[in-house]
Amino acid sequence: MDRRHGAGTLERVLNSSWLRPLIFLVLLTVLWDVTVRVMAIPPYLVPAPKDVALALIDQWDTLLAAAVPTTLATLGGFALSVAFGIPISMLIAGSRTVEAYVYPLLVFSQSIPKVAIAPLFVVWFGFGIVPKVISAFLLGFFPIVVSAVQGFKSVDQEMMDLARSMKASRLQTFRMVSLPHALPAIFAGLKVSITLAVVGAVVGEFVGSNSGIGFVLQRSIGNFELPTMFAALIVLALIGVVLFWIIDVIERLAIPWHASQRHLVVATA
Amino acid sequence: MASSHLKLVGEPPETAQRSPQTLIRVEGVSKTYRTRDGEVPSLQPLTFDIREGEFLVVVGPSGCGKSTLLKMVAGLLPVTTGAIRIEGTEIREPHDDVGIVFQSPVLLAWRSVLRNVMMPVEVRGLPREEYLERAKALLRMTGLEGFANKYPWQLSGGMQQRASLCRALVHDPKILLMDEPFGALDAMTRERMNIELQRIQHETGKTVLLITHSIPEAVFLADRVMVMSERPGTIAATYEVPLPRPRTLDVMGDPVFVKLTQTIRAHFYTQGHLD
């Protein structure tokens, strides 16, 4: 109740981790607004923040409805990335033969621009959710494989010797040593993957779809409705942020022992 | 059987003093590594015995193959020629009656100290309840009692290495293999660890094979010091250490200790290596 207590609360709010990016965001928005006004940029090139905010409020329901198929396609592609990426990276890390045959091809396949082959999936699978999911999968898959392979392969030789000295079976070694050791790297890959999966879903919606944020983006830019387009971009960014944040929370629960999470353990200990 | 084995503190087993039997026999063991440049000999044929309850320390310069020797005794590395036998059985894979302490603590970061110590019990499928008591007793013996539920990174380097010693001892092996266990510790912690290890070995009567490149450490800990020479490694000499146990740091001032360290050091000087 006293002033010192009030000051303490204020300080805590000022120091909280979510406030600083928020302050920065407000600053950027102000800068945006000032630039548009001072340089007299016409609204059909860059809309003012106010117009975007109005469009966001005005079309919130439509945008939210469009966000659903995009999110579903993202999650579907991400789930496929995990389901295929982790086992494949285990095979690559576990066998030199598999690594020699598969890994170079995998790297090579990544140099094919996904946007270029996305129309192909529309030809094959029509205008439904499938081409979007595949497109999200193709973008989200690779980062998981790369980071998981690196995680599995970076186990110390001494740690493997330790497991061998106890006569641990392959499964035991994997469960007790390799997998927990690889988890931090895997989570790093998952975070990159989920954001790329959003991009993949939107790419899928660009080339052939009649729903989703990608569709809204394309239609609004075709009609020169730039405030709507910017509002759709904001919703898209929100989808990415929320999904990223969910992975982050899961990571905290799954690997509380890791260096990146240690401040939390100390705080709760 | 098991209960007598579980005895932690007390007199060393009588047999160790009365009839020193050979526990580990190394016969004509050599190691040659195959590399792209051809075959690189790492160890020339070695023959020696380790008696039950004995503390044998191998001291030698870097790259003399002493770690290779330990890995072969551990069954982690195949021998090129010869054979290593523990109680008459030839070693082809890791032996159950062996605990290993590595150069670094190799504790699993995602397990608490107690769960790290219990890992061999878990892997080998031994009765958990029975060995949990033993693990706790070991932590007590090494002064880690209050740290059982901490993560390894919350411990100092010396404490981590003590935890890894507990892990090596938890399934009550007869033999303890240690590969430069205190090499990464600062000098003062290292001395303290030497005293503790000396005490633990004296109390438990384990047979220890320890690798080091520190001559004072070797003489302080050992019943017998085996001096190895430069690559490809051979046994340059073997010295009995006639100092009584339990030893304290005062032993380092003892004329026998001083003479012995000088004699061993002379081996490396004549070879032109100080390390």
The model's pLDDT over A54-93, given as tens digits with 9 standing for 90+, comes to 999 999 999 999 999 999 999 999 999 999 999 999 999 9
Question: pLDDT tens-digit profile of A204-223?
Answer: 998 877 889 999 999 998 88
B209 touches B197 (CB < 8 A): no
Mutation site, A158, A161, A165, A266, interface B, largest B CB count within 10 A: A165
Q: How far apart are CA B51 and CA B240, in angstroms?
A: 13
- A264 Cβ under 8 Å from any chain B Cβ: no
Q: How far apart are CA A88 and CA A171, in angstroms?
A: 16
State residue A106's pLDDT score: 87
Phi-psi region of B33 (alpha: psi -120 to 50; beta: other; left: phi over 0): beta
Question: pLDDT tens-digit profile of A126-184?
Answer: 888 899 999 999 999 999 999 999 999 999 888 999 999 999 999 999 999 999 999 99
Of B86, B88, B61, B6, give the one whose Cα is nearest residue B231.
Answer: B61
State residue B36's pLDDT score: 83
Contact B124/A166, CB-based, under 8 Å?
Answer: yes
Between A165, A168, A262, which is nearest B100 by CB? A165
Class of domain B2-97+173-270: alpha beta
Q: Given pLDDT bands bounded at 50, 70 and 90, which one contains residue A5?
A: low
State residue A261's pLDDT score: 67
Mutation site, B111, B123, B150, interface A, largest A CB count within 10 A: B123
Using H for helix, E for strand and C for coil, what is the string for chain A? CCHHHHHHHHHHHHHCCCHHHHHHHHHHHHHHHHHHHHCCCCCCCCCCHHHHHHHHHHCHHHHHHHHHHHHHHHHHHHHHHHHHHHHHHHHHHHCHHHHHHHHHHHHHHHCCCHHHHHHHHHHHHCCCCHHHHHHHHHHHHHHHHHHHHHHHHCCCHHHHHHHHHCCCCHHHHHHHHHHHHHHHHHHHHHHHHHHHHHHHHHHHHHHCCCCCHHHHHHHHHHCCCHHHHHHHHHHHHHHHHHHHHHHHHHHHHHCCCCHHHHHHHHHHC
CA separation, residue B139 to residues B144, B169, B188, B241 (Å): 5, 11, 21, 30
CB < 8 Å to A251, chain B: none
Residue B78 in tokens = 């195949």
Whole-complex ipTM: 0.81
* Nearest residue on chain B to A174, alpha-carbon basis: B123
Nearest-neighbour CA in chain B from A187: distance (Å): 15
Backbone angles phi, psi at B90, to 5 degrees: -70, 140
CB atoms within 10 A of CB B206: 23
CA separation, residue A173 to residues A96, A144, B200 (Å): 18, 22, 30
Of B37, B34, B42, give the one whose Cα is nearest residue B230.
Answer: B42
Q: Where are the alpha helices (DSSP H) in chain B?
A: 2-5, 14-18, 66-74, 113-117, 119-124, 128-141, 157-169, 187-204, 215-221, 255-270
Helix/strand/coil for B266: helix
What are the extents of the domains in chain B?
2-97+173-270
Helix/strand/coil for B84: strand
What are the extents of the domains in chain A?
1-41, 47-268
Q: How far apart are CA A118 and CA A144, in angstroms?
A: 21
Architecture of domain A47-268: Orthogonal Bundle (1.10)
Q: How far apart are CA A137 and CA A119, in angstroms?
A: 15
Helix/strand/coil for B7: coil
| Averaged pLDDT for residues A260-265 | 60
CB < 8 Å to A255, chain B: 110
Strands B89-90 and B235-240: unpaired
The count of residues in chain A is 269
Of B225, B215, B193, B192, give the one whose Cα is nearest residue B273.
Answer: B215
CB < 8 Å to A174, chain B: none
CA separation, residue B81 to residues A158, A205, B36, B232 (Å): 24, 66, 21, 14
Q: What is the pLDDT along chain B (275 residues), one digit of tens a residue?
A: 344 444 454 444 444 444 568 899 999 898 888 888 888 888 888 899 999 999 999 998 887 888 889 999 999 999 999 999 999 889 888 998 999 999 899 999 999 999 999 999 999 999 999 999 999 999 998 889 899 999 999 999 889 999 999 999 999 999 999 999 998 888 888 888 899 899 889 888 899 999 998 999 999 999 999 999 877 788 888 999 999 888 888 888 999 999 999 999 988 876 555 44
Q: How far apart are CA A190 and CA A82, in angstroms?
A: 8
- A158 Cβ under 8 Å from any chain B Cβ: yes
Strands B22-35 and B207-212: unpaired
